[in-house]
């Protein structure tokens, strides 16, 4: 079930401003909650050129893992919004991902406050991975009443390193579902 188109309009206006200067900034998934989202799941950076949106529906290992973990936790899609700490593709088309540079991370995080304020129903931010975790203080400062949870990144590279990684992701998203339920949302399945 997709969000009402109006739920995405302010987000897309903001995103289009980021895409100036030729940056490849994928859009928001219209099947997610848009500006009505209660949970922002912040990842690292887009993983590939081409997909026009940040989505759990891409044919990548990270997307498949994320889709499975969110479904297993019973988190409703309409309650979520996926985004990246560095929202543009940093690697050249056709090349593999490269590590993010400190300046890219700092710039990406400096762009996050306007997004946080475009989400009036936001109750919780889940920071996935090392880079996204750097946004914790920023979220606390900009939206002090919003909860923050951290989890490992859902990339197959990390998920396959140890059985503890998928357990940690599952536990974090179960906690997120419980918090959303306590706040008045649908009960976890």
pTM: 0.91
- Please tell me the distance from the alpha carbon of residue 5 to that of residue 33, in angstroms, as a whole number: 10
pLDDT of residue 189: 35
**Cα 32 off chain centre by:** 11
Burial state string for 62-95 with b = 16 or more CB within 10 A and e = fewer than 16: bbebbbebbeebbbbbbbbbbbbbbbbbbbeeee
CB 75 within 8 A of CB 173: yes
For residues 189 and 176, the model is more confident at: 176
pLDDT digits (tens, 9 = 90+) for 29-65: 999 999 999 999 999 988 766 668 999 998 889 999 9
**How far is residue 187 from each of residues 148, 179, 180, measured CA to CA in Å?**
20, 10, 8
pLDDT digits (tens, 9 = 90+) for 8-26: 899 999 999 988 877 889 9
pLDDT digits (tens, 9 = 90+) for 143-172: 999 999 999 999 998 999 999 999 999 999
Confidence check: pLDDT of 187 > 50:
no
pLDDT digits (tens, 9 = 90+) for 109-156: 999 999 999 999 999 999 999 999 999 999 999 999 999 999 999 999
For residues 93 and 125, the model is more confident at: 125
Confidence check: pLDDT of 188 > 50:
no
Model confidence at 2, pLDDT cuts 50, 70, 90, reads low
| Pairing of the two strands 80-84 and 39-43 | parallel
């Amino acid at each position: 079930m997709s969000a009402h188109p109006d739920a995405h309009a302010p987000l897309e206006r903001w995103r289009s401003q980021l895409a100036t200067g030729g940056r490849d900034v994928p859009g928001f998934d219209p099947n997610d909650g848009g500006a009505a989202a209660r949970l922002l799941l912040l990842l690292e950076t887009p993983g590939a050129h081409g997909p026009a949106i940040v989505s759990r529906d891409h044919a990548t290992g990270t997307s498949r893992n994320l889709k499975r973990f969110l479904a297993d936790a019973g988190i409703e899609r309409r309650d979520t919004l996926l985004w990246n700490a560095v929202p543009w593709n940093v690697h050249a088309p056709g090349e593999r991902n490269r590590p993010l540079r400190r300046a890219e991370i700092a710039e990406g995080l400096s762009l996050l406050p306007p997004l946080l304020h475009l989400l009036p129903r936001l109750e919780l931010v889940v920071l996935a991975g090392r880079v996204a975790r750097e946004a914790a203080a920023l979220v606390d400062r900009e939206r002090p009443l919003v909860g923050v949870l951290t989890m490992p990144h859902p990339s197959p590279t990390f998920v396959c390193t140890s059985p503890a990684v998928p357990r940690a992701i599952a536990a974090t998203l179960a906690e997120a579902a419980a918090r959303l339920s306590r706040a008045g949302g649908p009960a976890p399945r």
